[in-house]
Structure 1
Amino acid sequence: MIWRMARTSAVLCLCSAVVACGGLSGAEQTYPDDRRGQDLGGSLFGGNGITLFSTGGGGGGGEEGGGAGIGVNSYLWRAALDTVSFMPVTSADPFGGVIITDWYTPAETPNERLKLNVYILDRELRADGVRVGVFRQVQDARGNWEDAAVTPETATTIEDAILTRARQLRIASNAVTN
């Protein structure tokens, strides 16, 4: 029984090898040429790249934020980057709509540091399309950083600043296209 399975397996492997050696009948063979290493394909983001601001005159006045390559509203995205530009950005994901900053110590309060997580939640420019998480730490007498409370108004103030900047960008974009 084992010999029969081994013989059948050997015959199947031999047949597969013979079939694999056969050429393509009627098809033209292609061989590498001197264009090896050249960029023959398109862009990683498609033929048009990532569109950050809609320039088309479609309905809604660019309300969607344009661009098939970016997963969130481009006005909110750009406004969020502009708003947190004074802090060191650790991670920025335009497809997921997440901006994470590193700890920032204001010059006025050297024993305090802040960190922001900005979430763009929608492809439309809406008031509920952005959320900000604010983290604060204070330095104790021994020099260790300890978590401290953050007032809810802090996150709301940053969200409002992002929304205001996004509206300014949309108005400026519409003024250019009209």
Structure 2
Amino acid sequence: MTATSPKAAILLAAALLVLTACGARFSPGQDPDEVLNQEIYGDRGAPRSTLWDFFRGPQDRSRVGRVNKYIWNASLEVLDFLPVESVDPFTGVIVTGYGTPPGGGRAYRATVYVTDPALDARSLNLALQTRAGPVSAETARAIEDAILTRARQLRALDKRL
């Protein structure tokens, strides 16, 4: 076995120091898993599962995505002039890029967050901005109203079927 050089020993000591600093936010007596679960999951708590859940398959397919489908589809329809950058129907987030509405001269960008499966105004969170910054509250409210109106129309059409 060869002796290590002083540079290697210093590098190893520095790496260990950095790694120990990563755990410095946990106070003695705290369970690191509980702290991380609180940071990640908040008040909902960590999901409880076992290895056997993998073999059972999904219990209820309607519970996978907890967003209102009418608000989700209405958001995509009302904001169809904006290029979609990412969507996540499981968390209810739609992120768009900048786009100009038909007949308009200003480019907008939107982030939509559908928080609840209920068809309710509280289920919709919309952040709308231009290249110069956030839009006025009236403009954002008008877009939210258009999305909610379209969601109600989609629900009414769905009831007729």
TM-score calculated relative to the size of structure 2: 0.58
Q: What RMSD over aligned residues (CA atoms) do the two structures have, in Å?
A: 2.3
1:156 paired with 2:141, answer: yes
Which residue in the other structure is 1:126 paired with? 120
5+ residue gaps, structure 2, are: 1-56
Q: What percentage of aligned pairs have identical amino acids?
A: 39
Provide the C-alpha distance between the structure 2 equivalents of 1:160 and 1:117, rounded to a whole number of angstroms: 15
Deviation at 1:113, TM superposition (A): 1.9
In the superposition, relative to structure 1, how do residues 109 and 166 fare at CA in structure 2: closer, same or farther (>3 Å)? closer
TM-score calculated relative to the size of structure 1: 0.53
Aligned residues: 105
Note the 1:1-178 alignment, pairs <5 A. 67-106=62-101, 108=103, 110=105, 112-137=106-131, 147-176=132-161
Provide the C-alpha distance between the structure 2 equivalents of 1:168 and 1:109, rounded to a whole number of angstroms: 25
1:103-150 per-position Cα deviation (integer Å, ceiling 9, x unaligned): 11346555x32100111111110111101101112xxxxxxxxx2452
Runs of 4+ in 1 over 6 A off after TM superposition: none
Provide the C-alpha distance between the structure 2 equivalents of 1:108 and 1:160, rounded to a whole number of angstroms: 20
5+ residue gaps, structure 1, are: 1-44, 51-66, 138-146
More helix by share: 2
Amino acid at match of 2:141: T
Amino acid at match of 1:78: N
Provide the C-alpha distance between the structure 2 equivalents of 1:166 and 1:106, rounded to a whole number of angstroms: 20
